[in-house]
């Protein structure tokens, strides 16, 4: 099986764990193993291809999307504005705080894997800094027991923020992946995150076929009119990519040498597509006008992000024909992910920082989880 291209930078060897961190990680790994065994799951099963449930529920996938808010390591990336997330910066982003955040992220995903519904098959992550972070999350955190692989973008984003897809290689066999650039600079705008486009083989109800997965993190609303324009530009690029996968129009960056036979094969059958990410927009926003996919939001839920006491749906999972949700996307509200909102009442996500002050939470967004069937 071809493996994703993983480039381990020197940074991965420099962000070291102290003995107390190692002990805490070992204790969590043991606890998660016990939880999964109680739920009837074997953490190492996916690694060895012994996940017999894969045959019983062929065509079923569990998908999670999560903006993990500034998942930086503790070392500077040359050419990127990541100085505020260094041990010597005002935020004092130390290895202890970094490892605590990694462990908490792993805890959420592993808890979902142990809830009796089966292993999470793919996780779309927003706001991860680099390959070193993803290697550490999948190889050195408690998630190493679950055998996840990953691919990610290498964007022009000034802070070095990227998106990633973490996946179970025995449920999604990666065929290819690419970073799809949003042409922000060509329009006089600040560069933003690339779109991550991955293709892989999956079991559908009809047999083995291709699944197309896109992870997106559209520009923030904080940029005023320029930010709105950049977000619309990124959304247009996303829908253009989806249309090209579906065969409705050629890729803008495609070469002219594509054969007529290849074009006809693309049009022959509907494509199974999942798009997920932080859109920085609600379902009624203009970025979704004319979107060629279906939203899966739960209209009765409060959303994934809370601003001044108001919950909003900024994160979304969209699907094409041939991808059938078992229900609406569910907001994951584990107890340690939320806290009391003392300013506006109710509750809110428990963030890593409140302003410049370390708060010890995980993220300002809550994860989304959905189960889909591939027809």
Predicted confidence at residue 55, as pLDDT, reads: 52
In DSSP notation, 12-43 reads HHHSPPPHHHHHHHHHHHHHHHHHHHHTT--T
Average pLDDT for 89-95: 96
Query: Are the beta carbons of 365 and 304 closer than 8 angstroms?
Result: yes
Whether 292 contacts 232, CB under 8 Å? no
- The residue-averaged pLDDT of 152-179 equals 96
Q: 17-48+58-374: which CATH number, 3.40.50.970, 3.60.10.10, 3.40.50.300, 3.40.1080.10?
A: 3.60.10.10
| Residue 223 to residue 199: CA distance in whole angstroms | 32
Return the HEC string of 297-311. Answer: CCCCCCCCEEECCEE
How many angstroms separate the CA atoms of 367 and 115, rounded? Answer: 15
For residue 202, the cross-strand partners are 209
Task: Work out the pLDDT band at 222, boundaries 50, 70, 90.
Answer: confident
The position carrying tokens 């808890």 is 111
Report pLDDT for 4.
36
Closest CA to 341 of 332, 331, 333, 351: 351
Measured CA to CA, the distance from residue 203 to residue 373 in angstroms comes to 10
Separation of alpha carbons 233 and 187, rounded Å: 9
* Nearest alpha-carbon partner for 217 in 124, 289, 86, 335: 124
Can you tell me whether residue 142 is helix, strand or coil?
helix
Residue 12: predicted pLDDT: 39
CA 197 to CA 158: how far, in whole Å? 21
Q: What percent of the chain has pLDDT over 70?
A: 79
CB distance 142 to 80 below 8 Å: no
Question: Could you tell me the two tokens for 231?
Answer: 């977000």
Residue 103's pLDDT is 96
Q: What is the average per-residue pLDDT within 113-125?
A: 95
Comparison of pLDDT for 31 and 231, the residue scoring more: 231
Q: What is the model's pTM?
A: 0.84
Nearest-CA neighbor of 150 among 98, 184, 109? 109
- Alpha carbon distance 254, 244 (integer Å): 10
Handedness of CA 72, 362, 143, 149 (dihedral sign): negative
């Amino acid at each position: 099986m071809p493996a994703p291209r993983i480039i381990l930078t020197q940074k991965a060897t420099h962000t070291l764990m102290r003995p107390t961190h190692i002990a805490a990680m070992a204790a969590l790994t043991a606890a998660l193993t016990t939880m999964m065994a109680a739920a009837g799951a074997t953490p190492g099963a996916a690694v060895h291809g012994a996940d017999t449930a894969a045959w019983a529920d062929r065509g079923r996938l569990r998908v999670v999307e999560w903006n993990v808010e500034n998942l930086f390591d503790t070392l500077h990336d040359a050419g990127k504005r990541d100085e505020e997330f260094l041990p010597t910066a005002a935020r004092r982003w130390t290895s202890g705080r970094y490892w605590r955040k990694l462990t908490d992220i792993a805890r959420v995903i592993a808890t979902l894997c142990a809830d009796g519904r089966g292993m999470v098959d793919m996780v779309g992550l927003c706001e991860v800094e680099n390959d070193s972070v993803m290697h550490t999350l999948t190889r050195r955190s408690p998630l190493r027991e679950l055998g996840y692989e990953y691919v990610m973008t290498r964007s022009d984003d000034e802070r070095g923020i990227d998106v990633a897809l973490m996946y179970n290689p025995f449920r999604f066999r990666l065929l290819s992946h690419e970073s799809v650039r949003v042409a922000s600079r060509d329009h006089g705008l600040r560069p933003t995150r690339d779109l991550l486009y991955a293709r892989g083989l999956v079991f559908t109800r009809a047999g083995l076929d291709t699944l197309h997965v896109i992870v997106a993190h559209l520009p923030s609303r904080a940029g005023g009119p320029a930010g709105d324009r950049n977000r619309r530009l990124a959304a247009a690029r996303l829908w253009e990519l989806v249309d090209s996968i579906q065969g409705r129009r050629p890729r803008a960056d495609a070469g002219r040498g594509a054969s007529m036979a290849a074009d006809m094969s693309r049009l022959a059958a509907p494509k199974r597509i999942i798009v997920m990410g932080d859109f920085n927009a609600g379902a009624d926003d203009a970025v979704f006008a004319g979107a060629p996919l279906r939203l899966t939001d739960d209209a009765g839920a409060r959303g994934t992000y809370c601003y001044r006491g108001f919950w909003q749906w900024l994160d979304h999972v969209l699907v094409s024909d041939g991808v059938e949700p078992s229900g609406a996307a569910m907001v994951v509200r584990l107890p340690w992910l939320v806290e009391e909102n003392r300013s506006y009442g109710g509750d809110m996500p428990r963030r890593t920082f409140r302003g410049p002050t370390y708060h010890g939470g995980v993220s300002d967004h809550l994860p989304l989880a959905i189960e889909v069937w591939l027809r």
